[in-house]
Amino acid sequence: MYKNKLKIVLTFLIALTFFSCDINNDLEEKYSCDKSIDTWVKKNRQKIQKMNAYEFQDYDNPHQRAIFSAMLPKQRVMLWEKHLSDILKLEWSDAEREHINELYLYVKDNHYIFKNNLTESERDKIEVYVYRWKNYAKKTFNWSDKTIFYMVANLQKVYKDGQSSELVTYREKLTKKHQRIKNKTRENNGTSTDCGCSSGSDWCFMKLPHWFKDGKFYYYECAGGCSYPASSGCGTLCNSPCDANCKLSYVQY
């Protein structure tokens, strides 16, 4: 009788151990919706947490999002300080430069922005600040949506286009095909499938084209969810979860 009870207890404990492991696996932090990138980041996490801004810029955007998610908060601050200081070195009017510097100082003086597990109240506070900063820039300087996106929701190295004065990425500058890329995106009946946006901090409208056609206004919004969301790397200052995709939508006029 005693032996039977002992067997039952041991069986229960073994089952509980496996169940706990399953839970831990389910709750394990994810760094990318691309499982190969996610696996690579987990294998290289120690190396990543010693990575500097120059090494970070060697990677493509999907890898950058995943690396950013695995970095320490102090590294994230470093990346954003460098990103904005590089932008400040470009050609701007005094008023424009002052406005960009305001964002730089906001990042520099508010390191809590990049901590893990921000509260909802903290996220709201950040979103409100950036929303006001963005709207002032659009109204006062007539900056394009894309330029603002490249400033506050992207960490790829950017340059100023000589003709349009918009910010463009190195790849766009190198190939000089960014208008063709826009057109291709416009024709795509369009959903990106790389979990490349945050449903709680949606920048799809800002980074992708929007247009009128046949009485409809077409635009992209972050929606739909994805099967393998990442803990951060998207949205304002790249510090919101990557949990959805930019989908083409329209409003009838």
Higher pLDDT: 162 or 198? It is 198
Domain count of the chain?
1
What are the residue ranges of helices labelled H in 28-144? Answer: 35-43, 45-48, 53-56, 61-70, 73-88, 94-109, 120-141
On whether residue 12 sits in a domain, the answer given is no
On whether residue 44 sits in a domain, the answer given is yes
What is the domain extent for residue 232? Answer: 31-113+120-252
The predicted pLDDT at position 30 comes to 87
Q: What is the pLDDT of residues 17-75, one digit of tens each?
A: 433 333 333 347 889 988 899 999 999 999 999 999 999 999 998 999 999 999 999 99
- CA angle in degrees (0–180, nearest 5) for 120-122-128: 100
On whether residue 127 sits in a domain, the answer given is yes
The predicted pLDDT at position 225 comes to 76
On whether residue 203 sits in a domain, the answer given is yes
Q: Give 222's strand partners.
A: 246
The predicted pLDDT at position 184 comes to 37
On whether residue 223 sits in a domain, the answer given is yes
On whether residue 3 sits in a domain, the answer given is no
Confidence of residue 15 (pLDDT cuts 50, 70, 90): very low
- pTM for the whole structure: 0.79
Q: What is the pLDDT of residues 158-194, one digit of tens each?
A: 988 866 678 887 666 555 443 443 433 333 333 445 7
- For the CA atoms of 223, 169, 98, 144, the dihedral, rounded to the nearest 10 degrees, stands at -50
- CA angle in degrees (0–180, nearest 5) for 141-134-84: 90
Q: How large is the average pLDDT for residues 71-91?
A: 96
- CA angle in degrees (0–180, nearest 5) for 44-86-246: 65
> Cα-flanking dihedrals φ and ψ of residue 9, to 5°?
-65, -45
